[in-house]
Structure 1
Amino acid sequence: MNLSREVVDYDKMVEFVVNSLISVGVAEDHAKVTAELLIEADLKGHYSHGVARLPFYIHDITNSLTEKHGLPSILKHKGGTAWVDGNNLLGAVVGKFCMEKAIELAQIHGLGMVTVKHSNHFGICSYYSEMASAAGLIGMAFTNTSPCAFHCNASERAIGSNPISFAAPAKGSDKFSLDMATTTVAYGKIEVVQRKGIDVIPHSWGANENGQESKSATEVLDKGGLMPLGGKMETGGYKGTGLAMMVEILCGVISGASFGKNIRQWQNDVTGSADLGQCFLVIDPECFAPCFSDRLQEYINETRNLETMSDTPIMVAGKFL
C-alpha cells in the first residue's frame, strides 16, 4: 500500500486543530493548548499520539463525554502536594494545570506532587515532564489508560499501557527525557502499522482475545490487547505489569479516579466519562548536590561516546535522529 505524504506548515496545522475544536464549542485557550500538545507529539515522531487523536477528542466532546469550558479545581493542598479534580476537561488542559502547580510547589518546597481525577487522555507524557526540565527542575508525569493490556498469564485485559515519563535538564537545551509505555508498545503504534496496510507486527507487541501472543495487528486491535513490557512471564513481562500497577496506584488509586478494569474503553464506550487519573512529580535538584546539570551533561556525553558495534550512534532518551 502506497501512502502519499505531504508536509504541512506548522502554523497551518495549529490553525486546523484549533479551529476544529472551536467548531464543536471548545474554549479557544483550551483548543490552543490541545493543538500544541498533539502537534508536538507528531514533531517528535509519536504519530500514535499526535493529530491522529483529534477525531477521538471531537467524538467525546460532541457526545458530551468531555467538558468544553472551565478549569480544574484544587480539592486539597498540603505542603508540597495538591489533589485536583480535572472536572472532565480536555486532558491537555488538565495536565498543564497540574504540572504548573507541581512546578510551583517544587520551587517553594523542593518537591511537588499533584494527583488528579476526572481527567481525560492527555497525549504524550513528556510534554508535561519537559515543562519541568525547561524550568531547571526534574519532572515526572504518569497516567493510567483504558484497560488495553493483559497481565502475565491473564486471559482478560485489566491494565492500561500506563506510560511513564522523566525529564531532567542538562546544559543548554540538552536533556534526558524518557517517555515510555509500560507495555511493549502503545496501542496507537499498532494502529499506525495497520493504517499503513501492514498486518504483521513484531514479537511481544500484542495478544489475541485470550491473552496469547499474536503477530496480527488485526487480531490485536479487534478483540485482543497489548502485552506488558518484557512480553511473556519468562522474558520479564512481570516487570512490565509491575510498573503498570505502580502507575495505576500513583494515578488511579491515590487520586480517587477510576482504575484497572473500571476505566471505560475509550474508543468504544459512550456510557460515561473517562475519569482518568494522572500524577505529576517535580524535584528541585538544587536541594541536593551542586552542579546537577553539569554532572548530568557529563553522564550523557559519556553514554553517547561509548564504543559502538556498528555505525549506528548510541542514543540517549529524548534525542531524535
Structure 2
Amino acid sequence: MGRVERERERPQGQAQGAGGGRGDGPGSVLVGVDGSESALRAVEAAAHEARVRGARLTVVHAFIWPLLKVSLDPSPYGPADGGLRRQAQEIVDTAVAHARASVPGVEVTGEVVTGEPLTVLATRSRSAGLVVVGSRGLGAFTGLLLGSVAVHLAAHAACPVLVVRGREKPAGPVLLAVDGSRDADAAVSFAFAEAADRGAELRAVHTWTPSSGPADPTPLFHGTEEIRSEEERVLAQALAGARERWPEVPVEWRLVRGRPRAVLLEESADARLLVMGARGRGGFAGLLLGSVGQALLHHAECPVAVVRDGSGER
C-alpha cells in the first residue's frame, strides 16, 4: 500500500496519505471516497480518467469527526486497532488499492483530510482538472437517487465534476448536450477531449420546441421552420471550432424536437458518458445548476459530467 506520510498543512486541515502525496495539479484527477460501494465505482472511473489523461489520481476522504470533538482513538473496550482515525485510513487504503488493481500503472495517492466533504472537495477542485464522486454515499437515505455531496459539488466545484451513476456502455458514444449557453461551450471542449481520449464517437444533441410555454410569443412572430433553422444554426455553430481541433473524433449531431429533459434521458440509455453545461440558456440568474441538469444527475442512465464555463479546457 505504500508508506503513510504526513503532508503539509492545508486549508481544510491536516492530511495523511497512503503512498505519499504531492498535492493536486491542473490536470490531476480527484476522487472523494466514504467507504461505500458507490465510492469504489467512482474510484474505478477516476483511475481510468487519470490513465487516459496521463494524470495523477488523488483519493480523498473528508474526516469530519475531529471537528465534532469526538474521540478518534480506539475504545478501551474494543480492539487495539479500532477507532475512527483508523477507520478513516482504512477507507483511503482500500480505495487506493482498488484504483491500482483496476488500472495498473496509474499514479495514486491517498489522503485523509479533516473537514466536511462538500467543503473539502469544492476547495480542492480549484487546483484539480476533474473531480469524481459516486452518485450515493453511505449517508444516503433509502430511495434517494443522488447523494447531497454529488449534487452540491456539481453546482459549486471550480472544475468539471464526473458523477458516476447508471451504467457505462463501453461501446456507446459520448453524449453531449448542446444548448448554445456559455457553460455549454465549455462542455463542448470537454466532451470532444473525452471522446478523443476514449476513441469514441461524439453524439451532439440539441433540442428545440416551437415555444417554451403558453406565455412564449415566439411562434407569433416566427414560423416553426424558421425556429428550427435557427436552432440548427446554434448546433452547427457550437460544434464548429471543436470539430477543427479534434478532427479525429467522429461526430453525429441530432436536432430533436422535444423537451431537453425527456430527450436527453432517453439518449443516455446507450451512452457511455453524458456531458452537459452547469446551466442552460433558460437558467435563472444566480441558479448554480439548471433544472435540466439536476434531472439528468438524478435520472440519467450513464455517468454524467457537469462542466462550468471556463473549466472544460485541459
TM over 0.5: no
Shorter-chain TM range is under 0.3
State the TM-score, normalizing by the size of structure 2: 0.28
TM-score normalised by length of structure 1: 0.28
